[in-house]
Structure 1
Amino acid sequence: MQTGKIHSIESMGLVDGPGIRTVLFLQGCRLRCRYCHNPDTWQLSGGKEMEVSEVMKMLKRYRPYYGKTGGVTCSGGEPLLQADFVAELFKACKAENISTCLDTAGYGNGSYEELLDYTDLVIFDIKHMLTEKYHELTGGNISVATAFLEAVKAKGIPLWIRHVVVPGWTDEEVHIRQLGEMIKTIPNVQKVELLPYHTMGVEKYHALGIPYPLEGVPPMEKEKLQYLQTLLTETIV
């Protein structure tokens, strides 16, 4: 039986997928996003080891709260780094009629085909659409995320798109319009959401002795975020 490294668990999540959900934040991430607010999830060596059976026992206990739309969401960190564990977990969830959601940036290090076979919904975090900017913002290679997105499209899995708006990085109108044009090419999108950059994770960097990459960048203004969300929606429509 597969064992996973779990950073933390939210028993009654309301934002990471439809309905009430149990959210598993998995340990480990290969990206180093400048705005990441959970640097304590980066290392795969951290976290608590849990077997699929142990997680399922917990999920079945919470099942009465899920109703018709809730279920389990695997987030991170980056859940694709533990794709075999999540695949076995989601397969067990489907056998128990528990809805499955994968919250990911699409940045794994192996096969995720089996995992996608048991995934009801993908929440996909688009970091950037341009190769150079993607690397500058995350340290990663955009082709890895693009390959994952293509796999999701090929299987026709419903998608929610998320994008973090960072002042001076991803808050220009031309950028938001380009994002909208890209999203229009993805056929299975159900929801698109802009998320505001915030500074709530800065103290974690200080505690871990890690320099914070966006020191001095202010949180995203609520009014501008709402304006950009409207612009994005109009572009997609």
Structure 2
Amino acid sequence: MNNRCALVSQVIPFSCVDGPGSRLALFLQGCNLRCKTCHNPWTIGRCNDCGVCVPHCPHEALNIQAGRVWWQEEDCQKCDTCLHLCPQQATPMALRLSVTDIVTQIRQVAPFIEGITVSGGEATTQLPFLVALFSTLKADATLKQLTCLVDSNGLLSETGWQKLLPIFDGAMLDLKAWNNDHHRFLTGRENGLIKQSIRWLAQHQRLTELRLLVIPGHCDYLENLKPLVTFIHSLGKIPVRINAFHAHGVYGDAAAWRSATAEDVEPLAQALEKEKISVIRPARYL
């Protein structure tokens, strides 16, 4: 099982923004949403070895061998030219790492962290790897105290969540919009399955927090406040984290959208608090 591999875009040994406490954050490559507001858009797709990026790398850190695009880390200056050119919204710098590779990195920082968070992209698009990694950690006497969390968009079936249920401690889920049509506009997909995931996780005491994203001029929470509040109350005492949209790193039309300020967030925060909902405001604004 330790040979199970995943396509990984980044590993951050110490993060204080990917769940409670200090955590190792593992970002998997590939996502099943196409969010206009994604500030890591190069994690959405997966490299198909088209080679478009290769001749444009100013540091000659990319080449093609046997029909595959290869990244030479020692020559890379992290200029991100390849990321902006990629028609797949992918990166040639993603690495294929095994459970053993990741566990080795976790052991190096284990005394200094409270757990790990697997994010993306969308972590659950590589579900077999998630199951293998969490199972390995929970079975290890020296690592089983670490909490295992998933940062997810919720596009996973109940069958998928059931596979994770015995071996993970919780999930942080985003609800990008309340209305189906608006959610489709922002992400390319409807939100019915996402709402089902949120309810199921709450029922099984695995919903760590619900996240809402305030986008000035492109946000429908307040106009759907009554059903939103009813939905949140049905989940039990789940904290709601309000994130503020910022355009840093965003591609496409949303790159021109205005970043959210405290003045944009407060009406929603206060409306939810008036309904006795625990709200976590953004720690800072960009």
Q: Same fold (TM over 0.5)?
A: yes
Cα distance in 2 for residues equivalent to 1:13 and 1:86: 19
Aligned residues: 225
Report if the CA contact (8 A) 2:178-2:220 is conserved: no
Partner of 1:90: 134
- Sequence identity percentage: 26
Secondary structure at 1:72 match in 2: strand
Partner of 1:208: none
Q: Deviations over 1:114-166 (max 9, x none)?
A: 12321112111111222222112111132232332243234221421111100
Q: Deviations over 1:172-218 (max 9, x none)?
A: 633455433321111262x211100101013xx3xxxxxx1224321
- Is residue 229 of structure 1 aligned with residue 231 of structure 2? no
- Is residue 197 of structure 1 aligned with residue 199 of structure 2? no
How far 1:2 sits from its partner (Å)?
1.1
In structure 1, list runs of 5 or more residues that go unmatched.
206-211
Partner of 2:121: 77
Cα distance in 1 for residues equivalent to 2:199 and 2:221: 26
Q: How does 1:198-217 map to 2 (within 5 A)?
A: 198-202=246-250, 205=251, 212-217=252-257
Cα distance in 2 for residues equivalent to 1:112 and 1:50: 23
Secondary structure at 1:198 match in 2: coil
Report if the CA contact (8 A) 2:216-2:264 is conserved: no
Secondary structure at 2:253 match in 1: coil
Match for residue 147 of structure 1 among 193, 196, 214: 196
Question: Given the superposition, is the C-alpha separation of residues 50 and 215 from structure 1 closer, same or farther in structure 2, using an over 3 Å criterion?
Answer: closer
Cα distance in 2 for residues equivalent to 1:151 and 1:228: 25
Report if the CA contact (8 A) 1:158-1:188 is conserved: no
Partner of 1:61: 108
Aligned partner of 1:117: which letter?
A: P
- Is residue 170 of structure 1 aligned with residue 170 of structure 2? no
In structure 2, list runs of 5 or more residues that go unmatched.
48-90, 278-286
Question: Could you say which structure has the larger radius of gyration?
Answer: 2
Cα distance in 2 for residues equivalent to 1:102 and 1:145: 14
Cα distance in 1 for residues equivalent to 2:259 and 2:220: 12
Report if the CA contact (8 A) 2:9-2:43 is conserved: yes
Partner of 1:21: 23
How far 1:170 sits from its partner (Å)?
1.2
Partner of 2:236: 187
Which segment drifts farther, 92-101 or 12-21?
92-101
Cα distance in 2 for residues equivalent to 1:224 and 1:100: 33
Partner of 2:72: none
RMSD, aligned α-carbons? 2.0
Report if the CA contact (8 A) 2:247-2:256 is conserved: no
How far 1:222 sits from its partner (Å)?
1.9
Cα distance in 2 for residues equivalent to 1:130 and 1:171: 7
Greater helix proportion: 1
Partner of 1:30: 32
Cα distance in 1 for residues equivalent to 2:267 and 2:97: 43
Report if the CA contact (8 A) 1:153-1:188 is conserved: no
Q: Deviations over 1:75-124 (max 9, x none)?
A: 11100100110111111122221210110011248834212321112111
Cα distance in 1 for residues equivalent to 2:132 and 2:98: 10
Question: Given the superposition, is the C-alpha separation of residues 117 and 188 from structure 1 closer, same or farther in structure 2, using an over 3 Å criterion?
Answer: farther
Cα distance in 1 for residues equivalent to 2:171 and 2:221: 26
How far 1:61 sits from its partner (Å)?
1.2
Partner of 1:209: none
Cα distance in 2 for residues equivalent to 1:214 and 1:186: 31
Question: Given the superposition, is the C-alpha separation of residues 55 and 200 from structure 1 closer, same or farther in structure 2, using an over 3 Å criterion?
Answer: same
